[in-house]
Amino acid sequence: MFHLPIKNAMAHESRGEIVRLRAVNAAYPVPEVKGYVSEVDALRALAMTAVFAYHCDLMPFGWAGVWLFFVISGFAITSSLLGSVRVVQSKVLLLRNFYARRCLRIWPVYILIVTGSMIAAALAGNHEALGHWPWLATFTYNYLPLLHREHWGVTGHLWTISVEEQFYLIFPFLFAFLGQRWLVAALWVCVALSPALRAALIWGLQPMLRSEPPVHSVVHYFGPAHFDAFSAGALLAILRPLIATRLSHARIFLAAALGAAAVYFCIYLGVDAAGQGFNEQVLVSEIGSFATGEGRETVIYTVLVGLASALIALILAGEAWLVAFCRLPLLRPIGRVSYGAYVYHFPLLSLYNVLWPSPEGFVTWTGGLSKFGVGYAVTLLIAFLSFRYIEAPVLRLRARFS
pLDDT at position 395 is 93
User: Which residues are within 8 A (CB) of 119 and not within 5 positions of it... i.e. 6 or more apart?
Assistant: none
Residue 251's nearest CA partner among 194, 317, 153 is 317
Q: pTM for the complete prediction?
A: 0.87
pLDDT at position 87 is 72
Count of C-beta atoms within a 10 Å radius of residue 198: 27
pLDDT at position 7 is 36
Give 10-residue mean pLDDT values along the chain (402 residues): 37 43 38 71 97 92 95 96 80 92 96 95 91 95 86 92 96 93 96 92 66 71 95 97 94 96 85 67 61 77 96 96 96 97 96 82 77 96 97 92 80
pLDDT at position 297 is 81
Residue 238's nearest CA partner among 84, 79, 30 is 79
User: Which residues are within 8 A (CB) of 174 and not within 5 positions of it... i.e. 6 or more apart?
Assistant: 183, 186
Give the C-alpha separation, 70 to 78, whole Å: 12
Question: Cα 392 vs. chain centroid, distance in angstroms?
Answer: 22
Give the C-alpha separation, 396 to 138, whole Å: 25
Per-domain residue ranges of the chain: 31-355+366-401
